[in-house]
A and B are shown apart, each in its own frame.
Chain A
Amino acid sequence: MNLLSFPRQAGLVRYAFLFLLCFTDLSALSGCEQNDDAVTQWAADVRAMQRRVGEAERDEDFARAEHELRLLTGARPSVDVALVRPVQQDAYYQLARLSLRQEQPGAARGYADEGLALGRGSTQVPNVFAASLLVVRGQAHEALGAAQEAAQDYHEALLINERLLDLALEEDSL
């Protein structure tokens, strides 16, 4: 053993790096548990924020309600986007309805647009939140005097609604 030729500093750095890589590899095995924890924590956060939204609306504190709802529209990288998106679209629906109650149809249309931009589903997987967002955007268009756009939104909402109804009835018949 020739300790004089041992690359002491470079060797330590190199093998510390290798050790970290091993640790990283092993920690990947417990990723599912971390994801479950993240979903649980996020769901608790959503419930708490929705409770505060309800309290603000009862107090007619629309600014506080809007602030909480805007927080709900934010992304949560640690949680599967397929779970986060319905919550985000629901928050956009609430924001649009809140704006309509405050007689702000322009803002309502903007929130509905943002919610619909997250996805409208498909024929196979119709999106119930997209249908509600189209309905509320139709109301905003009506308030803005855009009857044709309102009719288009209502029509599209009814197409999604019909498909959802078909699927619900199929499930009931099974």
Chain B
Amino acid sequence: MTDFEDDLDLGDISPEEREEAAALMAALEREHDGGLDTSEPLVTASLLQYARSSELHQTTHDSVLADILKEARRPEAEPTWWQGWSRWAGAWRWMTAVGAVAVVAFLVVGSGEHPVVQLPGPSIALLQAQASVAAGGDANELDAAMLHYRVELLASLEAGGQ
């Protein structure tokens, strides 16, 4: 029997468990080079030691505690009425935005086939006046034709905007 077995009450432990515990305790006692083996058997041995003697080496204690805290999950708080409402508000905003984009896209695509305002084409008289002035004709003739076209243009703009 080893020294550490003297400190433990091994009455209810089977021989296999005793051998495993002895090996693990030996590994725990080594803690060579200041490093700490964090393997699962070592932790088990540490817990066994703690259960038997209610004492645990401080470094081992910190290691085990760190492992436990790492695995632990923070309990989720019950959402308040305000948090629940805010989720619905966010969802509503997104649904509204997506709907607006869809409607605008539909209108843009649809309007491509049917222009809102169709500007009138130039009259033959206007084109003849342009050609005449470019060939040295009377510029007042072009002014008159442009005035006539201007009236048509404004009428189409006013009609298209309604």
Contact = CB atoms under 8 A, between A and B. Distances in A.
Interface in A20-48: 21-22, 25-26, 28-29, 31-32, 35-44, 46-47
Nearest to A127: B122
The interface residues of chain B, by DSSP majority, are classed as: helix
A138 B81 contact: no
B127 interface: yes
Given A18-B90, A32-B107, A50-B150, A135 B133 contact: yes
B2 interface: no
Given A25-B96, A128-B122, A157-B134, A39 B149 contact: no
Contacts, number: 120
Given A22-B93, A131-B130, A161-B127, A168 B154 contact: no
Interface string B69-105: 0000000000011100010011011001101100110
B161 A43 contact: yes
Interface of B: 80-82, 86, 89-90, 92-93, 96-97, 99-100, 103-104, 107, 116-117, 119, 121-124, 126-127, 130-131, 133-135, 139, 142-143, 146, 149-150, 153-154, 157-158, 160-162
Interface of A: 1-2, 5-6, 11, 15, 18, 21-22, 25-26, 28-29, 31-32, 35-44, 46-47, 50, 80, 83, 86-87, 90, 93-94, 97, 100, 128, 131-132, 134-136, 138-139, 154, 157-158, 161, 164-165, 167-168, 171
